[in-house]
Amino acid sequence: MGSLLCTAKAKPSKSDQPKFDQLKIDRPELAKHDSSILDLAFAMDCTGSMGSYIASATQNIRSIVEAIVTSEKSDVRLALVEYRDHPPQDTTFVTRVHDFTNKPSKMKSWLEQCSANGGGDAPEAVADALHDVLKLSWRAEATKICILISDAPPHGLDSSGDGFPKGCPCKLNPLKIVQNMAEKTITLYTVGVEPPIIPYRDFFMTLAYITGGQYVPMVNAQLLAQVIIGGVREEISLDRLMQGAQEDIDREMQRAEAEGVDDEEKAKRLNQIFASKNMHCHQMKNDTGTMSKTVTDVYSKMSSMTEIRTHFMSKPKATFDYSTEEEEEEEEVKKAADMTYDLTENADVSIAQSKRLVKKWQHRKK
């Protein structure tokens, strides 16, 4: 009986193995920000159903700025992009752009001139609004935040009742736009007016997730100011966190990339860095805005509205139908009681925040 010979490759000696420090990984360092400088833009749906949110922003814009300046000592600029829809769905305007100003009074005057009218079909010009936000005169050194407030999907997501079922008539891709926003270090918060946004919640979550931002569900316009202040203060604190541990973050994330670990493990490693350095940040409570598996595992890996539409149309839609107006009101009151956006200062960095920082790190340029 013949013998079975096995040959094995010789294990390289330690001197032959490349050291981790010698590995060249093509990954940009974190952008350097001065987190005392803040550029805050609003993309506001100005169609017929949004009157209470426009009014809330108008009434509170000065107190919002004062709260941020007082607490964070920030140099704040504000911008506004109003949006409605393309003709023939709406013949007033698609978007109206008001570039950055450092005067809250000017921002307030823009909001006062913003009226909730029109809209046509259910979807609105979300892609156009985000495109115009991207083109604003953002300061390179600023903490950059955009707050999108909407109660309707973009064109090209839900084919039923969509005047432009294949997507934005200008061929704008909102997924590509938010990728560009992330690369420009703009963090997107999507404020979804519920219940009408419920069927499209995962899509709006995805837009925020790509940039390392948050989706914030809202049923009460009176809470809008609290969300803006809390979200902005949290993002400023996260920017400071990234600056304070930049070298450690770069080193650990590069190591994780080389090892091929997933984002969950990367977030755990970041969390360990912050814990070892006794670093803390602010946290806005947003329990009802937790990212779904559809967002993290499906939509965020897609690159076109066609892909997302195909998946969206193949699944049962979430509904918010109620038998009576009383039932609807009762349900909204119950939800509002559960939706609190209190800010905890100097909290331990959560895993959810570390996951968002992983997304930011993956996109940021020098």
Q: What is the CATH number of the domain that holds 125?
A: 3.40.50.410
pLDDT band at 10 (very low <50, low <70, confident <90, very high): very low
pLDDT band at 1 (very low <50, low <70, confident <90, very high): very low
pLDDT of residue 30: 44
Q: Using one digit for the tens of pLDDT, what is the confidence trace for 25-58?
A: 343 344 456 668 999 999 999 988 899 999 999 9
pLDDT tops 90 at residue 357: yes
pLDDT value of residue 316: 83
Residue 48, pLDDT score: 82
Q: What is the mean pLDDT of residues 207-220?
A: 95
For 303-320, give one letter per residue: b (16+ CB within 10 A) or e.
eebeebbeebeeeeeeee
Checking if the pLDDT of 317 tops 80, the result is no
Kindly report the pTM of this predicted structure: 0.86
In the prediction, which pLDDT does 334 show? 59
Residue with tokens 């604190």: 237
> Is residue 196 domain-resident?
yes
- Domain extent at residue 292: 37-244+274-315+330-363
Say how many domains are in the chain.
Answer: 1
**Structure confidence at residue 18 (pLDDT):** 39
Amino acid in position 254: Q
pLDDT digits (tens, 9 = 90+) for 161-200: 899 999 999 999 999 999 999 999 999 999 999 989 999 9
Segment 254-270 shows an average pLDDT of: 95
Q: Is the residue at 258 inside a domain?
A: no
Please give the pLDDT value at position 3.
33
Query: Is 28 a domain residue?
Result: no
Q: Look at residue 319 in the predicted model and tell me its pLDDT.
A: 63
Q: Using DSSP, state whether 3 is helix, strand or coil.
A: coil
Q: How high is the mean pLDDT of the chain? A: 86
Among 149, 75, 79, 85, which Cα is nearest to 117's? 85
Give yes or no for residue 97 having a pLDDT over 60. Answer: yes
Indicate if the pLDDT at residue 203 is higher than 50: yes
DSSP conformational letter for 319: -
- Please give the pLDDT value at position 16: 41
pLDDT tens for residues 63-96? 999 999 999 888 999 999 999 999 999 889 999 9
Query: What is the pLDDT at residue 34?
Result: 63
Cα–Cα nearest to 153, from 189, 200, 114, 89: 200
| pLDDT beyond 70 at 366 | no
Q: Where residue 323 falls among pLDDT bands split at 50, 70, 90?
A: low
Model confidence band, residue 15 (pLDDT cutoffs 50, 70, 90): very low
CA 64/CA 4 separation, integer angstroms: 78
Note whether residue 240 is domain-resident. Answer: yes
Residue 254 resides in a domain: no
User: 118-172: per-residue pLDDT in tens?
Assistant: 666 689 999 999 999 999 999 999 999 999 999 999 999 998 889 999 999 999 9
Contacts 24+ apart (CB under 8 A), 297-305: 299/202, 299/203, 299/205, 299/206, 300/206, 300/209, 300/210, 302/175, 303/173, 303/175, 303/176, 304/173, 304/175, 305/154, 305/156, 305/157, 305/167, 305/173, 305/174, 305/175
